[in-house]
Structure 1
Amino acid sequence: MTNKWSIGFIGTGVMGASIVKHLLKEEHEVHIYSRTKAKAENLIELGAKWYGTAGEVAQESDIVFTMVGYPQDVEEVYFGDHGIFENSKVGTIVVDMTTSQPTLAKKIAEHAKSVQMEALDAPVSGGDIGAQNGTLSIMVGGDKATFAKVLPLFEVFGGNIVYQGEAGAGQHTKMCNQIAIATNMIGVCEAIAYGKKAGLDINTVLESISTGAAGSWSLSNLAPRMVRDDKEPGFYIKHFLKDIRIALEEAKLMELKLPGLVLAKQMYDELSAEGYDDNGTQALIDYYVK
C-alpha cells in the first residue's frame, strides 16, 4: 500500500472514474471535480469528495491529477479563473493525464516551477479496460525526481509506467501511440470486412490472427466489439480526432509526412460528420459495413 496522499482529480469521465476508484481503494483521500455532479455520484458514494471548481479541489490537495477533454480544457483548469494555479499551495504536484499538446505541457511545467510547484505530463493508453483493470500504460514527461515521487501512485492504476524525458516528452510519446493505433485500426477493420466477404466466422478468424504476427491491442480488445456491433466508447471518436489533429500539427512543425495518419483522419472525419463523435473508435468498422 502506498503512503496516504490528499489527491485531487479533475475529470471523472470513462477512464478518470476508474482511476479514482483505484485510488479510493488504496484509502487515499480523493477530492474530485467534474462539470456534472450527477455523473460523479457513484464516486461520491464510494468516498470521494466533490467540489464545484477545479480551484477548490486544488486547495485541498497535495497532488492534482487532470484528465479532461481538449487542450482548451487543460488551459482552463490550470490557468483560468478558479483554476489550479490560482489556488494551489507551494509544493503541490500537478499531473496532466489528458492527451494534449506537448507545447502546453511545457507551458504548465514552466509556470509550475515559477510558483514553486512541480508538474508532470502523463498521458495514458489502454482505454476503459486498462483503467478498470489498473493496467494503463503511462508515458511520463517532466522532472525525474518528481516522477519518482509520484511513481507509487502511478502504480496504483498503471501497469507499464515509463519515464520518457523532460516536460512534453510524455505527450510526444502519446502521439507516437495514437499514430500507431490510427493506422492499425484501419487494418483491423479491413481484416474484418474481408473476412465477412469471404464468408468466414469472424470470431473464429480472430482466434487465429489475434495471437499471430498481426496481433495488437486493438485486434484483441476492439475487434470483438466490432463483431458485436458494440460502439460504446472506451475512447471517444471526438477525442481521437483531437489527438490526430495534434499529431499532424506537430508533424508539420517537424516537416514530417504521415500519409497513414492523414488517411485515418479523413475516415474518422467522415464518421464524425455523420454523428459518430460519441461512439468508440471501433465504430470505424461502419466505414466498411454501413
Structure 2
Amino acid sequence: MKVGFIGLGNVGGKLSGSLLRNGIDLTVLDLNRDLVDAAVAKGASAAENAAELMRNCDAVITCLPSPAASDAVMQEMLPEIKEGKIWLEMSTTDQAEAERLGAMVIAAGGAAVDCPVSGGCHRADTGNISIFAGCDRATFDRILPLLKTMGRRILHTGELGSASMLKVLTNYLATVHLVANAEALVTAKAAGMDLNTTYEAIKISSGNSFSHVTESQVILNGSRDISFTMDLVKKDVGLFQSIAERNDVPLEISPLICQIFDDGIERYGDRELSPNIIRRLEDATGLSILAPGFPPEMLDDEPEEAGYEVIPQGSSRVQAAE
C-alpha cells in the first residue's frame, strides 16, 4: 500500500516516522519545507500538493491543526478520490466535521476513517500510542494493518465520526485532570508538603491519572513541555462543550475549564505550553511548584510492540471469541 501523509507537526511527524520505521512506502506533504526535508532524509518521498498525493497513493492520512485546515486539504484532494482510495483523518476534529468530509469521500467512491490518536507525543514517537478508528467494519479491516504500524492499541469505535467524539471526550478528561493536578500540587506546597513525596502519594493512590504521571512530572521539572499548547486545549475543550450542547447535556465542569484556559491564554498567550496553566495559581500564591529529579520532557521507555485490536468488554466480538 502506498501511503500519503499530510501534516508533519508534533504528532504527525512522529506518526509518519513510525510508518517509515516499519517500511511503509510513504509520501509526505507539509507547508514547512524543513519538516518535509527531514522526512525525505529518513526515506519518504515528497509531494507538491494534496491532489498529487491522493492521485498517487492508495491511502492518504491527514494530521492537521484545525477543522479548517482539513477542509482546505480535502477540497484539493476530492477530484482525485475514486473507488479504492482511503482517507484517514488523524487530526483532533469535530465529530460533525469528520462526518461531513467523510461523506464527501464516500460519495466520490472512496472510504473514510476518522482515526485520532491518544496517549501523548512521547508514545506517538515510539509507535506505542493508542488509535481510535471510526468507520464501517470492512474499511476497518482494510486499514487495521496500517494502523498497527503507527499504534499499539487500536479500537474500532463504530461508524464514521465516533472516533472523533471519543478523542475529544478523552482530551477533555485529560484537561480536567491537568487542572485538578495543578490545584493539588499548589495546595500541597502551600500546606508545607514535600512535592516529591506528594507526587509519589498521588501516583500510588486512587487520585492517580495518566495526566499526573506525565504532565505533573514536567510541571515539577519546570520545563512544562508536553508539546501541547493552550490554544489546542481551548479548541479541544470547546469541541467537547459543543457536543454536549448539541445533545442537551447541562455540563458544569466543562464551562469552568473553558473559562480557566481563556484566562490562561489572556495572561500568557495562546501558544503557551498547556501545563503552565498552573502559573495562574503560582502567580496568585507566590509559590514555585518545582522539585528535583523530574525529566524536562516525557520519553516512552517501553519497547515498541506490534499493534493489536482492542475489543470492548462485553461486545459481541468478545463473546464470539469465547
Question: Are 2:45 and 1:49 aligned?
Answer: yes
Code of the residue aligned with 1:257 in structure 2: it is P
1:254 aligns with 2:247: yes
Gaps of 5+ in 2: 284-322
Identity across matched positions, percent = 25
SS in 1 for 2:48: coil
Higher relative contact order (CA 8 A, sep 6+): 2
Aligned to 2:275: 282
Shift of 1:179: 2.3
Deviation readout 1:50-85 (Å, 9 max, x if unpaired): 223222221221111111011111111112xxx221
* Alignment of structure 1 residues 131-150 onto 2, 5 Å: 131-150=124-143
Match of 1:22 among 18, 26, 31: 18
Question: What SS does the aligned partner of 1:8 have?
Answer: strand
Matched residue SS, 2:153: strand
| Equivalent residue in structure 2 for 1:85, among 78, 84, 96 | 78
Residue 302 (structure 2) aligns with: none
Considering only aligned residues, what root-mean-square deviation do their CA atoms show, in Å? 1.5
Unmatched 5+ stretches in structure 1: none
Q: Is the 8 A contact 1:7 1:63 kept in 2?
A: yes
Q: What is the aligned partner in structure 2 of residue 39 from structure 1?
A: 35
Distance in 2 of aligned mates of 1:193 and 1:52: 50
Deviations 1:110-166 (A, max 9, x none): 212211100001111112112112122212111111111111111112122111111
3-state SS, counterpart of residue 133 of structure 1: coil
* SS of equivalent residue, structure 1 residue 256: coil
Greater C-alpha Rg = 2
Offset at 1:287?
1.7
Structure 1 counterpart of 2:118: 125
Taking the aligned partners of 2:123 and 2:164, their CA distance within structure 1 comes to 19
Instruction: Give the one of 87, 93, 96 matched to 1:94.
Output: 87
Aligned to 1:6: 2
Once the 2 structures are TM-superposed, how far is the Cα of residue 101 of structure 1 from its aligned partner?
A: 1.2
User: After the TM superposition, which residues 103-114 of structure 1 pair with which residues of structure 2 at under 5 Å, given as runs?
Assistant: 103-114=96-107
- Alpha-carbon distance between aligned partners in 2 of 1:221 and 1:142, rounded to the nearest angstrom: 31
Counterpart residue identity of residue 51, structure 2: G
CA positional deviation for 1:173: 0.9
Which residue of the partner structure matches residue 299 of structure 2? none
Per-residue CA shift, 1:23-73, capped at 9, x if unaligned? 001111111111111133321210112223222221221111111011111
State whether residues 218 and 226 of structure 2, in contact with CA within 8 Å, keep that contact through their aligned partners in structure 1. Answer: no
| Distance (whole Å) between structure 1 residues aligned to residue 105 and residue 117 of structure 2 | 21
Aligned to 2:309: none
Please list the CA deviations of residues 202-253 of structure 1 after superposition, one character each: whole Å capped at 9, or x if unmatched.
1232122113211111100000101112133422221121111111112111
User: Quick one: which amino acid aligns to residue 192 of structure 2?
Assistant: G
